A and B are shown apart, each in its own frame.
Chain A
Amino acid sequence: MARAVGNNVRRKDGDAKVTGAAKYIDDLSFPGMIYGATIRSTIPRGIIAARTVSLPEDFIVADHRDIPGPNYVALIDPDQPCLAVDQIRHVAEPIMLVGHADKHALIDVQKRVAIAGIAGTPNYDPEKSDLCFKKISIDKGQIDRGFQISDFVIDGEYRTAHQEQLYIETNGVIAVPGDGAMTVYGSLQCPYYVHQALVVLLKLPPERVRVVQTETGGGFGGKEEYPSMLACHAAILARKANRPVKMVYDRVEDLLATTKRHPSIVRHRTGVTRTGRITAMDIDVIIDGGAYATLSAVVLSRGVIHASGPYRCDHVRIRGRAMMTHTPPNGAFRGFGAPQTQFAIEAHIDRIAGELGIDPVKLREINALRRGDTTATGQKLGKDASALPVLRDAVRRSQYAKKRRQWRGTNRGIGVSLFFHGSGFTGGGEVNLASKASLELTARGAKILVASTEIGQGTRTMHAQIVADALGVPFNAIDVHEADTAFVPDSGPTVASRTCMVVGKLLERCARDMKKRLGRLTPAQYFRKHGSFTVTSQYEPPPGLAWSDDTYAGDAYGSYAWGCNVVELEVDPVTLEVRLLNITAVAEIGKAIHPMMAIGQIEGGTAQGIGYALTEEVVMKDGRMANATLTNYIIPTPLDAAPMDVGIMERPYQYGPFGAKGVGEMPIDGPAPAVINALRHCGFDVRSIPATPERLMRAPRPQAPSPKPHEIHP
């Protein structure tokens, strides 16, 4: 029988999407539905003194007093109000909600609600902040010893900025009230996160709250936690109006008010021997959490664990802090701390190479983690430690060595980055999630019941492939239920590159259990004879993993994926615009369940990493995004796309379904430092991103390229 896993089976959601039949939240309507809008703070910090509403009676107006339960959006810390009471901590902080049957009546409704306040003095500098959301320390060996045995010490400071997820479908939900009940439909990644937030805020029993994910037009982490806030807002209005309430943000509101990637400042002090062996890594990480904690603690966690890069070193000290500033809270975005810290280490490695006069690839080869080595948290790596193979493959494919020589002194540059990414939740996180997956026997096969969401990455298809092969039935015999909390168990959130490796594994177990129970019968035969049954599996950690939150040491992740980027570019001497010539991306991901969709994750994540490096800038003025339109937040267009050469390597992970690890996030970790390293190669010393032409103009040029006709030196 034809196997599904490893083949490019036809996507389950494809036909609906290409015909316009797929229903996203704004395509839906409910009888009696009204529309909701949010009244937001226009100042970054202050105290609300008075609220004056000049709206006729056909408007529904709600504020914090309409919240039945505690006024916070449940996530990790209970610090973020659902609606502000008297304190304002950021521009666009939600204060009141307004509903009306005619959405046109809500145009400019902000002008008819006056919020009087006393402005405070905002702080936008995370280093000057007096509120620390989280501190993490990692210690390995003895850092002083590491410096003692070094020949050189090289320092560096690297900065990354906000990045907007820019899903093409904005955030949106519809809340439908019932009798002592609430159902919320929405564009979201984590139905059970939203469920939990509603249960807490509305003070309803869990079985009276239902969350249904609608077809979602991109998430990338931007719909991991934010939809909980939006769902709570719509639910408050729905409860008050006793009518369904639709709240779909327009692009400007989405850009202004929802989460972004955490900006970072990472400082390295590195001890190396003259032959290029790293003996000490002392790393300081600061991330800017914005006004409320949201997920900063976990972003910091992943960031510090990846901060030393895919390198072996006996003496490591990492200190991380997540700090509060008076800006809209930052949150999840693909990579989740690792793009920030791996930008720093990979840019730093090339600087070390330059100082030592060692080729950047050679320096990485000397220090790359190998089987048997331990990471910064002391995790011993097994035979799927693939740093060297991905590095060598990318270097070979791109002809790095030849171009590195030939392009020296020209306006072309070639740069490399080596990176890794732990799959699943950190440390004991997966145990705490205790995810479940269910499989229900149907007349023709089986139906998958998981809370994992399809957000474009191919969840439905990939899960069905795993189940089909494990059960021994054709791919088309497997159906996938909507992610609806009334029907599916809590499989945990669709984040952290866990949907295949963790939830897919649960489904594989379900399928094998089901197969055992079917005996010699096919699903159809069994169904006819005995009817349906459902198998459920719950997460069990792989054997031998040990992690301590107290010492922040041990096995941080079950497995790591490994990646290497080589970026080739050209800088126009007249305008300092960067033209990308070629991008090589090699990824070792255990097993590509659906090769085309895996390539899709690599290409898509790489493109987002390129945008992060070069053009995507959130211009903050007085705590507010000044360029909150698609005209002015610059992501690449089809004409900006550079050729991409993608290679997939597979070193099966024993505890992943058919050997698979995670793939979704890793591709965004590498492009930015590869770009910066290519710019360094053609003469620009850049240590922060985005590396816009304006910044290249100001960057130090330690070795200006030799003059050519028409070339202009800044």
Chain B
Amino acid sequence: MAVDADTLSLERPRSVNEALKMLAADPHLVPLAGCTDVYVGLHFGTLPDRRFIDLWPLEELRGISVERDVLRIGALTTYTDIIQSKIVQKRLPMLAAAAREVGGAQIQNRGTLGGNVGNASPAGDTLPVLAAANARIVLKSDQATRHVTFDSYYTGYRKSVRQPGELIAGIEIPRVDGRQWWRKVGTRRAQAISKIMIAAVRGRHVRVSFGSVASTVILARKTAAVLQAGGAIAEAQAALGTEIAPIDDIRSTGEYRLKVAKNLLEQFWNETQ
């Protein structure tokens, strides 16, 4: 790869507490989980960091459970864990659906939910799901634990409210009221970065989220409001046009993404009647 391993360092804490202490002392250590993004960045020379902290062995950050009707997923839960979890299949099938379309088996066995959130790509496969599900991110530091609603987690392109010294410990998802719907449009049927992605919930409230249409995942509030108020699909599609700003890149065009986003919105609405 484009980096000599000898130029890198890896701290290997034996517990979350130890990890947090290390991060308090050196807040710029980059956390390593499944490595599926970090190692690609190192390979292409796009990741400038050289000092890492290994979270992978920390079992405390794994696990899927339901407590007081809230689904809790540890940050190190892999896509394979998510796909195989009966709890997730029952309570959050759109997350299992998203996990199934990440990469291929090799990536699913290693990529983690916490890593997807932490990597903060606008194309992150689970992010529209977490937005539509009104998830909360659990951040831990040496000093405190806090919960941040997903809607306020990202502040800009690959930027979040997570402070240096904080780790994503887990993700909490309250019970989702209504039908869940999800679809990813990629360049092929596997191993594809999404061109556009939608996760949506239709219940007493409507929530619609899109990925790969802006510098962060977008919760399309105006669009959802139109649908919830009984507005026509065309009106909702027009609102959507004001909430997303898809661009041309090497994978697709803004024109395509915008048109397909509107089509996906309509498909969601028709299929969740």
Contact = CB atoms under 8 A, between A and B. Distances in A.
Interface string A8-21: 00000000000000
Interface stretch (A122-130, A341-349, A506-514, A623-631): A623-631
B247 interface: no
Interface of A is mostly: loop
Interface string A678-700: 00000000000000011001100
A615 interface: yes
Interface stretch (A27-35, A636-644, A668-676): A636-644
A527 B193 CA distance: 62
Contact of A693 (B191, B256, B266): B256
B263 interface: yes
Given A107-B2, A107-B3, A108-B45, A631 B193 contact: yes
Contact of A640 (B189, B250, B255): B189
A617 to B, nearest CB: 9
B244 to A, nearest CB: 16
Contacts of B204: none
Nearest to A641: B189
B108 to A, nearest CB: 13
Contact of B2 (A108, A575, A640, A712): A108
B255 A697 contact: yes
Contacts of B187: 615, 634
A712 B250 contact: no
Given A632-B251, A694-B253, A574 B189 contact: no
B252 interface: yes
Interface string B1-18: 011101000000000000
Nearest to A632: B250
B188 interface: yes
B252 to A, nearest CB: 6
A637 B255 contact: no
Contact of B266 (A627, A697, A712): A712
Contact of B250 (A577, A626, A697): A626
A639 B256 contact: no
Interface in B44-95: 44-45
B259 interface: yes
A637 B263 contact: no
B267 interface: yes
A576 B252 CA distance: 13
B263 A575 contact: yes
A520 interface: no
Interface string A562-595: 0000000000011111000000000000000000
A104 interface: yes
Contacts of B4: 104, 107
A714 interface: yes
A709 interface: yes
Contact of A694 (B252, B264, B266): B252
B270 interface: yes
Contact of A637 (B104, B259, B262): B104
B185 interface: yes
A710 interface: yes
A365 to B, nearest CB: 36
Contacts of B250: 619, 626-627, 632
Contacts of A574: 260, 263-264, 266-267
Contacts of A710: 266-267, 270-271
A575 B45 contact: no
A252 interface: yes
A104 B6 contact: yes
Contacts of B2: 107-108
Contacts of A712: 262-263, 266
Contacts of A108: 2, 45
Contact of B191 (A619, A637, A697, A709): A637
B238 interface: no
Contacts of B259: 697, 714
Contact of B188 (A619, A626, A636): A636
Interface residues of B, number: 30
Nearest to A637: B190
B267 A637 contact: no
Contacts of A637: 104, 188-191
Interface string A605-624: 00000000001000100000
Q: Which of B45, B104, B267, B270 has the most CB of A within 10 A?
A: B267
A63 to B, nearest CB: 24
Nearest to A631: B193
A640 B191 CA distance: 11
A694 B256 contact: yes
B243 to A, nearest CB: 19
A697 B256 CA distance: 7
From B44, B191, B193, B255, residue with most partner A Cβ within 10 Å:
B191
Contacts of B45: 108
Given A104-B4, A629-B44, A694 B255 contact: yes
Contacts of B3: 107
Contacts of B256: 576, 693-694, 697
Interface in B1-46: 2-4, 6, 44-45
A247 B251 CA distance: 31
B260 A575 contact: yes
B190 A638 contact: yes
Contacts of B262: 712
A619 B191 CA distance: 19
A574 B264 CA distance: 6
A629 B252 CA distance: 16
Contacts of B271: 710
Contacts of B263: 573-575, 712
B208 to A, nearest CB: 15
A622 to B, nearest CB: 13
Interface string B234-273: 0000000000000000111101100110111011001100
B255 A639 contact: no
A712 B262 CA distance: 10
Nearest to B252: A694
Contacts of A640: 188-190
Contacts of A252: 44
Interface in B160-194: 185, 187-193
Given A626-B250, A627-B250, A577 B6 contact: no
14 contacts: A104-B4, A104-B6, A252-B44, A574-B266, A576-B260, A577-B185, A629-B44, A631-B193, A632-B193, A634-B188, A638-B190, A694-B255, A698-B255, A709-B270
Interface of A: 104, 107-108, 252, 573-577, 615, 619, 626-627, 629, 631-632, 634, 636-640, 693-694, 697-698, 709-710, 712, 714
Pairs of residues from A and B, 5 with the lowest C-beta to C-beta distance, nearest first: A104-B4, A639-B189, A639-B190, A694-B256, A574-B263
Interface of B: 2-4, 6, 44-45, 104, 185, 187-193, 250-253, 255-256, 259-260, 262-264, 266-267, 270-271
Given A693-B260, A710-B266, 18 more contacts: A104-B6, A108-B2, A574-B260, A574-B263, A574-B264, A575-B263, A636-B188, A637-B104, A637-B188, A637-B190, A638-B190, A639-B189, A640-B189, A693-B256, A694-B252, A694-B253, A710-B271, A712-B263
